[in-house]
Amino acid sequence: MDGTHQQRRRGDTRQRIQDVALELFAEQGYEKTSLREIAEHLDVTKAALYYHFKTKEEILVSIFEDLSQPIEDLIEWGGRQPHTLATKQEIVRRYSGALAGAAPLFRFMQENQATIRELRIGEMFKDRTLRLRDILIDPDAELVDQVRCISALFTLHAGMFVMQDVEGDPEAKRKAVLEVATDLVTQAHQGA
């Protein structure tokens, strides 16, 4: 007389909203996903969403905050390490894992840059990216080497999504992407 669909779901609506929203945001983009659509997928009314979140943007912010915490942690950790090659390689390695762990979010971020720029998470994301860059890049290095680091970052970010239509086992692809990124960072470090 218990454990029904309805009952089990009580209390987890907030989480379900985030799940569905991220799915739809990643699939269709932020602007093209309406709150009506999210609500319908969850079989609740639009107003229910507003019980759990103050605005549409806040849904996105909450998803971002929840899912990108590991990356925040990683950057903080990286900031406290010496700027050696080994550290940089380790950062890249861990970053690759962190990105894979929140793939839908990062796919969304990459494909909705124009939108995100105007949103609160735009600042947060930009800030994070810059801190990450400052760890990897030596400001006195040659321009080419700076580009190599940026390229490494981009390769990691974009890798997953673009590789989707390349044949092959996902984990193998991730490894390959990681290798290229590591190479780039290593070359950049030695370049100078």
Partner DNA sequence: GATGAATGAGTGTTCATTCAT
Partner DNA sequence: GATGAATGAACACTCATTCAT
Contact flag: residue 3 with DNA (CB under 7 A): no
CA distances 124 to 7, 90, 120, 131, 191, Å, are 37, 23, 7, 11, 31
Q: With beta carbons less than 8 A apart as the criterion, state whether 91 and 78 touch.
A: yes
- Decide: helix, strand or coil at residue 20: helix
Span interacting with DNA, options 33-41, 109-117, 134-142, 163-171, rule CB under 7 A: 33-41
Among 18, 68, 96, 112, binds a copy of itself (CB under 8 A): 112
Span interacting with DNA, options 46-54, 151-159, 171-179, 184-192, rule CB under 7 A: 46-54
The DSSP annotation for 130-175 comes to HHHHHHH--TTS-HHHHHHHHHHHHHHHHHHHHGGGS-S-HHHHHH
Q: Which of residues 117-136 bind a copy of itself (CB under 8 A)?
A: 117-118
Which residues in this chain contact a copy of itself in the complex, by CB under 8 A? Answer: 28-32, 108, 110-115, 117-118, 142-144, 146-148, 150-151, 154-155, 158-159, 162-163, 166, 168, 172-173, 176-177, 179-180, 183-184, 187
